[in-house]
Structure 1
Amino acid sequence: MSKKALTMDVNSDEMKKSGSRFQVARVDSKDEDARESNDIETNESISKHSSRKKSPDHKKSANLPNIDTTTPVSTSNDGRVDFSICPESPCATFSLSGDSMRSRGSIEYTKTNCVMNTIEALPCVDHYRNIFSATGGNLKVRPTLAELHEELDDDEIRCIRKEGGGNYEGSALDILNQGEKVITANPVRFGWIQGVLIRCILNIFGVMLFIRLPWVVGEAGIIQAVLIVLLSSVVTTITAISMTAICTNGEVKGGGAYYMISRSLGPEFGGAIGIIFSVANAVAVAMYVVGFAESVRNILVDQDCVMTDETNDMRIIGSITITVLLGIAIVGMDWEARAQVVLLVILTLAILNFVVGLCIPPSAKQMSRGFLGPKAAFEDNLFSDYEDGYNFFKVFAVYFPAATGILAGANISGDLKDASKSIPKGTFLAIFITTIVYLLIAVFSGMFVLRYANGIVLESATATNVTDIVNNSTGQFLASLLSTSTVANTNKDSILVNTSYLVKPTAPTLEKVFTLEEYSYSREFVSNCSLIPEGCKYGLIPSKQVVEMAAAWGPLILAGIFSATLSSALASLMSAPKVFQALCKDKIFPFLGYFGVGYGANDNPRRAFILCFVIGFAFQLMADLDRIAPLISNFFLMSYALINFSCFDASIANSPGWRPSFRFYSKWLSLGGALLCVGVMFIIEWYTALITFGCVAAMFLYVHHRKPDVNWGSSTQAHVYRSLLQSALKLVRIGTHVKNFRPQVLVLSGEPEARPTLVDFCTHITKKMGLMVCGNVIIGKQGDNLRKILSDAPYQYFFRRHIRSFYSVATASTFQLGAQALMQNVGIGKFRPNLLILGFKSNWQVDNPENVQQYLEVIHDAFDLRLGVGILRVKEGFGLDIETNLSMFHQDPEEDQSDDETPQGSPSEVAGNQDESTAAKQQSNGQSVEVEESSRTHDHDDELGRGEGPDPLINPLLLAKLNTQVLKTMNIFRNKEKGTIDVWWLFDDGGLTLLLPYILTTKPYWRNCRLRVFAAGTRRGDLGYEQRQLATLLAKFRIDCKDMTVLPEINKKPSEESVRLFNSYLANWKLDPHKGETKTKFPWKTTDDELELLKEKTQRQIRLRELLLERSKDAALIVMTLPMPRKSTCPAGLYMCWIDTLTRDMPPILLVRGNQESVLTFYS
């Protein structure tokens, strides 16, 4: 065979950038290709060298089978192959010269390799990568099972791929057929320092560091302030541990907390928290901008340059600031990252400036504002002294946003080079650094600065200079300072002051004339707020400029404040749109898709930036940092709680896919972290916590109700499987009880969307109550029907029609064998069918008699397996399987469309959503209908009338030519019924004939129907007694039925006309010995002896038809006891005549027979 390989060039300009739902990060394959080409060149050089230096045993090796001598292979002395000089390509592949199969991909699988030629592929990272994550065109693809297993040539392989047969992993052709494109532009990618560490540090060192941390110490004291910082760090550390476990359980895409929660807990929680987290980040922008505006406002106040008033000045400054930040963010990630580095440098210098300032002796101005040194303030500030309205958790709520920056790196996970490694490394280091800095600043602030300071500056002058004291910049305190008890001499040239305010190293205890510069400030003097009419304006609590006041150079602290606030605002402004974009791309909330559009190489969501800007702009107009902070705390605590719960939930799900490379986590620690976050939320503000929970619950219910079409392998899915498995095993050990009987139906529906009426009826019985399995018997070989067997189209149909059912397929040489396989094998344990329902075989008169015989044998087999049996007949048919309406739609099989090319939807779905007028309009417009001819499916339970003809499937977009009657038939059981459900409970089968109609009356479609029960009377004729007995029995069963009738005339002889009609049905099914027919050759035909033996039973069926026409011809539904066919006694032809006689031209009728075991009880 030629070694040319089936190749496929993936044009990198023809694929889209991957959406956020794919869990594998993009990898530029150019580096791998370059390395691969270098390896090939190296191998060629080694090969040339090897050809010049041949082994003396090369003649012997010539007999080895099909080893390419150009490939460098070394062998050890014992003859084993040495791989040490093999190419270092990450994806080595082989090509076997004897194979008739060649694989696909952007490289040739026939490329020579170390050992032998084969199309088998060695393990390679590309094989496990989602194709949407590729940024280059040379993504390697694993050979499919069909390519390895089937004996096909290249043309057939292409045909299989085009038809979509099988679930080919990573098929690049499939992607190209979908029109996907890959963007080759190189986006900006960050490492762990610039992408995570710097970003987290800047976001954590936000507005609280310089503006609110001293206030926290003033309110809570040093001890409780340290506890607040540590509690916040505990929450963030536990969350970071959980986040790291999630991040290292596979490669992470963009979306941050939303991505992690949605992929762990599913779209319901993910969608809810995505909205909450995005809004929280947008509001955080406002908080940091307000912090910046407050600092600028303070400068303006100090300089007496207020524009309007203090509050409106903050709004003006904030509006200008957030607009400038928006411009920086829209410019792109690269500029934003550069700005972050500059801001970090300024912030670091500002912190060092504060520490240096603590080592410098304070000036008079600093001392007047409370900066007295470690010994002066430590004791006073050690314990709490809360103002009215504040407590530990109120102060914690104001501080906690300072710790929320831990997700700054995770929020741009899609822009990191290696998110799984960068996020944990950068986040943990950022938490450690910022916690240490917060603790140091908190402790130092409490040690050096008083809670309250009057700001009185005693200028360097003699006390006799009263004018200087009175007129000093801080003064006007003389009236409070002097009192008659402290004045020894009222001469204005000399003032005697009580020295309790002023302390000198050798301070006298007596009043004396003093020089002010000889004395230092005492704690009592500085903290005496009564010396100032307006009270103390300085100190830890009143002043928001404590850090600036204590620093070595105040302007640098201002620069640090600007750096901290602007960097955090910028980080939040970048994070919120990225998270929101990931949410939009997942289409969980379709109406938000407009904001997810990306621009440029980095896919920047400019529309989301604008939305974030609008939210931030609105909240910054509040101009009150202390009101914004608690709201953000609740949102972030909710996010952290769900991240922790995600880790815990994934751990207890015991899914094999949960194997994070980060081992230092505990599911119980994560659970504790989640409970801690929720508890703190309610302690801070219980009503805000309730509102947050209400928002999450509302969005959860919306997404849950909408059921987005996503599959992320969440722990919720793992729990569903785990719960089902445990319940199924537990159910096996539970004994059966009549009170717990539930109908579990196996309906032989064939293709479900071809028989919507039959499927809909069975759904009414089992929905929210029991098991339903749609079985399809395909006549033929398994290999010829793989496409039908592996198709998930039935489940898509179930989803669209809101049908809760399973689907099972069996291939067999006959319908009976296939049905046997389904009845024997469908289900697990006690979670298996106990009732078989078939459609009536209305074409039994013209079909192959062997098929009719098999139809009866299936009923016998069901009774042998102790199943109940039901036969449903609807005179209009079961939907699309009516040949008279479909004969014009057949086409050549070669023109069939593949599954991928068929538009979404189904014939029954379309019909279910349009009324007759719509159908008529479409028909008048001349729309055509195309039919796809499937592999031959046995017409075992329907009204096909096609014999062995094909089973057509209708293109849903072109249904208009189906007449109105077919559309009505397809949806006959999807409209609410009115009238009666007539129950003909002729014989006691265990109560199934009575239970099924009762179940139907509990369903919305049949709720308006009332039950009427008919029972056969005895020969004694005491109708009153029998009717009372029947009423008593129904009352004991708690079945509400007020219309009960006992039929005494059931055993009367039928009319001659009815008998003649029955005989006309049976005419072709009588055995004719004169024609040489024998019972052995024609077992489905009836002999005269059998007719005589079953004469009474036959007359009963004819008589029952007369009674049905008399009493139930207008019923909405008839449920009747199915005649029991005795083995080797009742032939197929006679039995089908019975069934046809009972059901022909009747309303929808279900003939049902239980397995003679009780399904009803009147015991509690």
Structure 2
Amino acid sequence: MSEKSPLLHYRLTSSTGTEPRDVSKHSRLKAGRGGRRDKKKTGPKLGVLLGVVMPTLLSMFSVVVFLRIGFVVGQAGLYQSIAMFLVAYFIITMTVLSVCAISTNGALDAGGAYYMISRALGPEFGGSIGIMFFFANVCGSALYILGLVEAILSSFGVPVDGVANLHQVLPSGYWWSLLYGTVLLFLCFIVCLVGAHIYAKATFIIFIIVTTVLASTFISFFIVRPVVVILPDSSGLNGTGLSTANYSGFQLHTLESNLLPNYTIDYTTGTMMSFATVFAVMFNGCTGIMAGSNMSGDLKNPSYSIPRGTLAAVLTTFITYNLLSLLAAWSCDRRLLQRDYSFLGDINIWPPLVTTGVYSSTVSAAMSNLIGASRILYALSKDNLFGGVLSVTRKTSRNGNPWASVLVSWLLVQVVLFAGKLNTIASVVTIFFLLVYAAVNLACLALEWASAPNFRPSFRCFTWHTCTLGILGCLVMMFFINAIYAFASIAFMLLLLMLIHYLGPISNWGYISQALIFHQVRKYLLLLDVRKDHVKFWRPQVLLMVANPRSRIGLMTFINDLKKSGLYVLGHVKLGLLDGLPSDPLQNSYDSWLSLVDHLNIKAFVNLTLADSVRTWSSEPAFYHRLRWNEA
């Protein structure tokens, strides 16, 4: 038997006759001889390192670590920079705990966070959050492409003012930047189009490069002597001459001057910075925690790989970011940090090495978000939540790669590239990711509160407190960054939720709302004490036995008007015995009775029973403790 095959068909299917046996036989055949062939064809191959740790690290080690660490420290100061990292990593740590709990609860299919949320909270909430997560990955991929274009133009672009060096040959400007971004995005698209395994191999090479660059960066802080750095021409704002700043090495007065915030105008966008805008840019270096879970459909063992790989990557990036912030504040002039975002290359023992690291990490992060967006879109199309709108994205190659979803994701990323600047879309990307993280925490919180018997994760380092703190942290930071964007994103999510609720197909995933209602009803039923009954609070509790509902509609509606907020039970007994039957013959009838109750708009429970006689059934104990019909 395979992991995803049903454990029990008896009484769990709506079929009758011998069909459940056929289904069981089909499941055994699928897990038997044919299972090996299917696994060889489309089976996941990636482990913890290649499938989770490397994609997560490279998605987090991207624009921020090489191009924005000086921006954060220069604008916010060391104290507020560390505070930002603590707040950001507190939020994502709470989210990672929820992700680990859900991912270790059972089989995890393609779609990552979308699959977790939709199977926990139902199709409406899961589908709306899935679309938001898809757009978050699309915008994130565009953000990293724009960061890469910025890095390329910083090294090889022709200056707006001044004399160009021999290597500065690329024309600058909005349309030229859009062209460069389009070419780079197309290269990422080709890699993702080939498949996840080629992406994993490329990730391994890039990971070695980025690790080497980070090692050289740390070493450079200790061995490079003080030097005067010529700032980029675009950072001079209204200045006409060459601007310079100092790399002083480890000096106490340099550290003291960089402790407090000093928000100025961002030289790439011309807008005034604040704590919220700087946090929005910085938080993009923490949004890669889902890179591993997005690859869940390509992992050997998602329940084993995702918790270990994600936690290891989060801890590594937190230590690296804080060490880089401390070293930059201790050795670099404030003007250098604010006016030269690529200062790490200027003070490196071999500047081209940092340039290589910037290019490699941003390309990897862009590919990670692009392939993650395609997997989410493919999972949405498979679930058929939007009817035929996403049917075209279900097409896959022979090895199972969803090339149609990759194509659609690539086209949408191309549209976002028209934003032009990295800092322009940073707030939008951050709010999208924060909303998704809040939904993941909400899914885990709902499962924990519902006390669902099927929620037994092997990862136990979480409680409802961590889920609640994660939700509150995400919502607070969303509105702190940009209240308008936060309201708009939530309104868009609610609109999608309503569309799926009224237009989407009925799913058999289960609804967490039903589990929560059952949990609360059971709790209040236990509070009902028969010793506290009083005649003045008596309510009629009626059992109406109905043989043929077609001829008893008038009686059913009359009793409904008579009951006056009491208990009303519609009973029906089908003569026969369950012994020897392959399934419960009343299951299909039960849906029809519930539809009739909804159509007549009566408030009644339905109790259908299979018994050898009505007298035998009536002698059985009534259900629900005190909620039973009155006996004469």
TMscore range, shorter length = 0.7 to 0.9
Question: What residue in structure 1 maps to residue 546 of structure 2?
Answer: 748
Question: What residue in structure 1 maps to residue 291 of structure 2?
Answer: 408
* Aligned partner of 2:387 among 590, 595, 607: 590
Question: What residue in structure 2 maps to residue 684 of structure 1?
Answer: 481
- 1:698-1097 correspondence runs (5 A): 698-705=495-502, 708-712=505-509, 715-731=512-528, 735=533, 741=539, 746-750=544-548, 761=557, 773-783=569-579, 789-795=585-591, 798-799=594-595, 802-803=598-599, 806-811=605-610, 817=615, 820=618, 827-833=623-629, 865-866=631-632
Matched-pair identity in %: 27
- Cα distance change on mapping 1:425 and 1:801 into 2, 3 Å: same
Give the helix-richer structure, 1 or 2: 2
Offset of residue 637 of structure 1: 1.0
Offset of residue 785 of structure 1: 7.0
* Aligned partner of 1:321 among 184, 187, 196: 184
Offset of residue 164 of structure 1: 3.7
* Aligned partner of 2:109 among 231, 237, 253: 253
Q: What is the CA–CA distance in structure 2 between the aligned matches of 1:370 and 1:439, rounded to whole Å?
A: 22
Q: What is the CA–CA distance in structure 2 between the aligned matches of 1:759 and 1:408, rounded to whole Å?
A: 60
Offset of residue 217 of structure 1: 0.4
Q: What is the CA–CA distance in structure 2 between the aligned matches of 1:808 and 1:198, rounded to whole Å?
A: 55
* Aligned partner of 1:385 among 262, 269, 273: 262
- 1:101-500 correspondence runs (5 A): 126=1, 129-131=3-5, 163-164=17-18, 171-173=24-26, 183=38, 185-298=41-154, 299-302=156-159, 303=164, 309-358=172-221, 359-365=223-229, 368-375=244-251, 377-387=254-264, 389-452=272-335
SS of the residue 1:778 aligns to? strand
Offset of residue 357 of structure 1: 2.7
- Cα distance change on mapping 1:281 and 1:296 into 2, 3 Å: same
Q: What is the CA–CA distance in structure 1 between the aligned matches of 2:573 and 2:428, rounded to whole Å?
A: 60
Question: Is the Cα–Cα contact under 8 Å of residues 47 and 305 in structure 2 kept in the other structure?
Answer: yes
Which letter does structure 2 place at the counterpart of 1:778?
Answer: K
Which letter does structure 2 place at the counterpart of 1:360?
Answer: V
- 1:548-559 correspondence runs (5 A): 548-559=345-356
Q: What is the CA–CA distance in structure 2 between the aligned matches of 1:604 and 1:813, rounded to whole Å?
A: 55
Question: What residue in structure 2 maps to residue 512 of structure 1?
Answer: none
Question: What residue in structure 2 maps to residue 883 of structure 1?
Answer: none
Offset of residue 172 of structure 1: 2.3
Q: What is the CA–CA distance in structure 2 between the aligned matches of 1:282 and 1:768, rounded to whole Å?
A: 55
User: What do residues 664-716 of structure 1 show as CA deviations (whole Å, max 9, x unaligned)?
Assistant: 22221221122111111111112211122222222333344457533435643
Question: Is the Cα–Cα contact under 8 Å of residues 599 and 605 in structure 1 kept in the other structure?
Answer: yes
Q: What is the CA–CA distance in structure 2 between the aligned matches of 1:682 and 1:169, rounded to whole Å?
A: 54
SS of the residue 1:665 aligns to? coil
Question: Is the Cα–Cα contact under 8 Å of residues 132 and 432 in structure 2 kept in the other structure?
Answer: yes
Q: What is the CA–CA distance in structure 1 between the aligned matches of 2:141 and 2:69, rounded to whole Å?
A: 19
Q: Detail structure 1 runs of 4+ shifted over 6 Å in the superposition.
A: 167-170, 174-177, 736-740, 766-770
Q: What is the CA–CA distance in structure 2 between the aligned matches of 1:415 and 1:444, rounded to whole Å?
A: 38
Question: What residue in structure 1 maps to residue 413 of structure 2?
Answer: 616
Question: Is the Cα–Cα contact under 8 Å of residues 47 and 300 in structure 2 kept in the other structure?
Answer: yes
SS of the residue 1:588 aligns to? coil
TM-score where L is the length of structure 2: 0.84
Q: What is the CA–CA distance in structure 2 between the aligned matches of 1:789 and 1:208, rounded to whole Å?
A: 61
- Cα distance change on mapping 1:543 and 1:662 into 2, 3 Å: same
Q: What is the CA–CA distance in structure 1 between the aligned matches of 2:212 and 2:144, rounded to whole Å?
A: 20
TM-score where L is the length of structure 1: 0.47
SS of the residue 1:648 aligns to? helix
Question: Is the Cα–Cα contact under 8 Å of residues 264 and 714 in structure 1 kept in the other structure?
Answer: yes
Question: What residue in structure 1 maps to residue 268 of structure 2?
Answer: none
Question: What residue in structure 2 maps to residue 644 of structure 1?
Answer: 441
Q: What is the CA–CA distance in structure 1 between the aligned matches of 2:305 and 2:555, rounded to whole Å?
A: 53
Q: What is the CA–CA distance in structure 2 between the aligned matches of 1:788 and 1:656, rounded to whole Å?
A: 23
Highest Rg: 1 or 2? Answer: 1
Q: What is the CA–CA distance in structure 1 between the aligned matches of 2:219 and 2:17, rounded to whole Å?
A: 74
Structure 2, unmatched stretches of 5+, are 232-243, 266-271
Offset of residue 300 of structure 1: 1.1
Q: What is the CA–CA distance in structure 1 between the aligned matches of 2:568 and 2:123, rounded to whole Å?
A: 27
Offset of residue 614 of structure 1: 2.1
Which letter does structure 2 place at the counterpart of 1:659?
Answer: R
Which letter does structure 2 place at the counterpart of 1:387?
Answer: T
Q: What is the CA–CA distance in structure 2 between the aligned matches of 1:187 and 1:781, rounded to whole Å?
A: 45
Q: What is the CA–CA distance in structure 1 between the aligned matches of 2:449 and 2:64, rounded to whole Å?
A: 38
- Cα distance change on mapping 1:286 and 1:244 into 2, 3 Å: same
Q: What is the CA–CA distance in structure 1 between the aligned matches of 2:378 and 2:220, rounded to whole Å?
A: 45
Question: Is the Cα–Cα contact under 8 Å of residues 226 and 247 in structure 2 kept in the other structure?
Answer: yes
SS of the residue 2:284 aligns to? helix
Q: What is the CA–CA distance in structure 2 between the aligned matches of 1:282 and 1:276, rounded to whole Å?
A: 10
- Cα distance change on mapping 1:814 and 1:638 into 2, 3 Å: closer
Q: What is the CA–CA distance in structure 1 between the aligned matches of 2:540 and 2:142, rounded to whole Å?
A: 58
SS of the residue 2:337 aligns to? coil
Which letter does structure 2 place at the counterpart of 1:196?
Answer: V
- Cα distance change on mapping 1:776 and 1:328 into 2, 3 Å: same
- Cα distance change on mapping 1:373 and 1:793 into 2, 3 Å: same
Structure 1, unmatched stretches of 5+, are 1-125, 133-140, 147-160, 453-538, 835-864, 867-1164
Which letter does structure 2 place at the counterpart of 1:370?
Answer: N
Question: Is the Cα–Cα contact under 8 Å of residues 209 and 402 in structure 1 kept in the other structure?
Answer: yes
Q: What is the CA–CA distance in structure 2 between the aligned matches of 1:405 and 1:768, rounded to whole Å?
A: 56
Q: What is the CA–CA distance in structure 2 between the aligned matches of 1:583 and 1:787, rounded to whole Å?
A: 32
Structure with larger RCO (C-alpha < 8 A, sep 6+): 2
SS of the residue 1:190 aligns to? coil
Question: Is the Cα–Cα contact under 8 Å of residues 78 and 258 in structure 2 kept in the other structure?
Answer: yes
Question: Is the Cα–Cα contact under 8 Å of residues 147 and 362 in structure 2 kept in the other structure?
Answer: yes
Offset of residue 208 of structure 1: 1.4
Which letter does structure 2 place at the counterpart of 1:569?
Answer: A
Q: What is the CA–CA distance in structure 1 between the aligned matches of 2:535 and 2:22, rounded to whole Å?
A: 47
Offset of residue 584 of structure 1: 2.3
- Cα distance change on mapping 1:801 and 1:412 into 2, 3 Å: farther
Q: What is the CA–CA distance in structure 2 between the aligned matches of 1:800 and 1:598, rounded to whole Å?
A: 40
- Cα distance change on mapping 1:238 and 1:812 into 2, 3 Å: closer
- Cα distance change on mapping 1:756 and 1:286 into 2, 3 Å: farther
Question: Is the Cα–Cα contact under 8 Å of residues 777 and 818 in structure 1 kept in the other structure?
Answer: no
Question: What residue in structure 2 maps to residue 951 of structure 1?
Answer: none
Question: Is the Cα–Cα contact under 8 Å of residues 189 and 417 in structure 1 kept in the other structure?
Answer: yes
- Cα distance change on mapping 1:645 and 1:742 into 2, 3 Å: farther
Question: Is the Cα–Cα contact under 8 Å of residues 16 and 582 in structure 2 kept in the other structure?
Answer: no
User: What do residues 45-102 of structure 1 show as CA deviations (whole Å, max 9, x unaligned)?
Assistant: xxxxxxxxxxxxxxxxxxxxxxxxxxxxxxxxxxxxxxxxxxxxxxxxxxxxxxxxxx
